[in-house]
Structure 1
């Protein structure tokens, strides 16, 4: 049941993202032909006046099909609903709207959370201890709040990841709080596939402070900026190999993380969904082929030079990018499953 809630939450984020594309496309007079939640074989389909809405079976994303977005599509030269016949700025806004609404959605969730529960001050806690892991052997438990590792304060999850992966296997001192009482444990990370781990999954456990509406609004508006900056720092650490790519979570890990947050309570679940909404928005803004960010690069070139990049060249680049990203997604999913089931 909790896993079903987690998958439903992921579906909501995809719906929000694709709705952003569809809403702006329609405002610009484009014809939206299909709105799909997930990929693969269709489980449910409904035909609207202009748009077919469908739910597919593979929860790896979703898409909006806009008339004329595929340059190879045969459409009348004067088709007013074609993506290709719209000004570059309208096409730019249509692509930008998906990631943009993910940020707006996160702001709304955080604003509601702060008004209901208070402003969160996340504490990094152990959500799960893996069987046979070094963490289990030294007595770490779910619910332990991590405060310091070798004297360095733990402010966000990446602090734990970096400390463990760069330890070289030497024993580490972890200051934690269990049931309101401070404790200290020593744990030696173990190398698995060349990556040092102690065998825990962690999640932010929010402590709340009641604040007024103005402070809630300020915190909410700053939230996606702060979280995006943290994610970009994490990408930088991946690029410099301070953090191994094998520790990146794929769809399986994301759903499991959502499941753990639902088990921690409504406030933790809302916080996790808001974080994932920012993550989805930022990921799609990366200037990589097949992602929204890659399409925005081509549109920016067109706006600046007032000349379109060859349809064939752009289509080829996006196709190669899609295949590469899908292959990477499969590898990350395989790594997730291997970590979980062994």
Structure 2
């Protein structure tokens, strides 16, 4: 239950902040955002505010912001159609009733001759009991009502494609950007609450069931050598421990000004590279500082970003196999392990996932934010946009390949954890 709750909270936060980045900058650019969704599939909960419908959907596999103009309008009105019109106080059309007109007796029924809901915002139509063609001005925020569902019209200047290259690029880039911002914020709060690790071989918190506690090590013990090898930094300490799993080591420590010797046998575990390493269940000593916490958030976010790019480079060059990738099942299990180690470990894990989500989305692959940015960049170079139909085909193929990769990775996760 703790694992499931952790997954819901972490992924809900990661997806929310990512999609909120898209939403905020799209609205700043004047783009009509029809829906802000967490999850996919059938709607579980929804409400509308400021032109946007906010929804939670059944399948927690991501989220999306549906911007006007990104996809063809689902409701098409052609000449010869009979529609119902309702008007606002200024005499402009506020509602266009497409079907079920009998449920709207106050609507004026007309036969469409010409309709333009993008640029001119007019409807030219005939009324049975009147002679001549009538011309109606449409309000820019009018709704079309189809099957009793309202959809706000999208004039061209409210559509995604009407905005400048820079505005569109920022609206797309903002999603991954917010994941980096979230990681920084989580790590900053972590440092404010837990303290900033001191880069020296002094012990902070000790896991009660770890090798260090079993051997009798205590908080604030400073380890000056292991098996006669001098230590100065925390990295020196962890490097020696990781290299000697299940091997008895002699720790020379300073405790209350006195030098003592403690024998410790590091336990064994697998690191993210699936390599065996030793660990004793200790964290570095910490100090508390507001400025230091901000610096820690920046440096740790940069470090995590660098490590993920390094892993991606190894994947491309073949030094890192698909077996080392984790899909939904693997992430679920790793989140459970992090949750069992406490809130601070879980916070660092959430920050790493947030950076990872930001980086993956920026890869120049179809169907990802990076792929969309690539097409916007090509438009900037060519001076004209790519054919939307061709771009749509590329994104569809890319999405299918990504889903195939997800299935392969998930199958590997099942083999590793359950078979």
Shift of 1:18: 0.4
Q: CA separation in 2, counterparts of 1:176 and 1:232? A: 33
Shift of 1:250: 0.7
| Residue 182 of structure 1 pairs with residue 183 of structure 2 | no
Shift of 1:48: 3.2
Partner of 1:67: 68
Q: CA separation in 2, counterparts of 1:106 and 1:177? A: 38
Partner of 1:13: 14
Shift of 1:259: 2.0
Q: Deviations over 1:191-233 (max 9, x none)?
A: xxxxx96799x9x975352142222222212222221111111
Partner of 1:2: 2
Q: Deviations over 1:67-94 (max 9, x none)?
A: 1112676794431221111111110000
SS at match of 2:245: strand
Structural mapping, 1:33-182, within 5 Å: 33-70=34-71, 76-78=117-119, 79=155, 80-120=157-197, 143=210, 174=245, 182=264
Partner of 1:22: 23
Instruction: Report the CA distance shift for 1:268/1:58 in structure 2 as closer, same or farther (over 3 A).
Output: same
Q: CA separation in 1, counterparts of 2:346 and 2:248? A: 22
Q: CA separation in 2, counterparts of 1:224 and 1:340? A: 29
Q: CA separation in 2, counterparts of 1:220 and 1:328? A: 32
| Residue 220 of structure 1 pairs with residue 302 of structure 2 | no
TM-score normalised according to structure 2 size: 0.62
Shift of 1:42: 2.7
Structure number with the higher helix fraction is: 1
Count, aligned residues? 297
Partner of 2:335: 258
Structural mapping, 1:293-308, within 5 Å: 293-308=370-385
The question of whether the paired residues in 1 share the 8 Å contact of 2:274 and 2:324 is answered with no
Partner of 1:268: 345
Q: Deviations over 1:313-340 (max 9, x none)?
A: 2111111101111121122122222322
Runs of 5+ consecutive residues of structure 2 not aligned to the other structure: 77-115, 120-154, 202-208, 213-233, 250-261
Q: CA separation in 2, counterparts of 1:250 and 1:144? A: 31
TM-score normalised according to structure 1 size: 0.75
The question of whether the paired residues in 1 share the 8 Å contact of 2:211 and 2:266 is answered with no
Of residues 242, 263, 283, the one that matches 2:360 is: 283
SS at match of 1:40: strand
Q: CA separation in 2, counterparts of 1:54 and 1:302? A: 32
Shift of 1:235: 1.2
Shift of 1:256: 2.1
Shift of 1:181: 5.2
Q: CA separation in 2, counterparts of 1:278 and 1:71? A: 33
Instruction: Report the CA distance shift for 1:277/1:263 in structure 2 as closer, same or farther (over 3 A).
Output: same
Shift of 1:284: 0.5
Of residues 300, 308, 319, the one that matches 1:242 is: 319
Q: CA RMSD in A?
A: 3.6
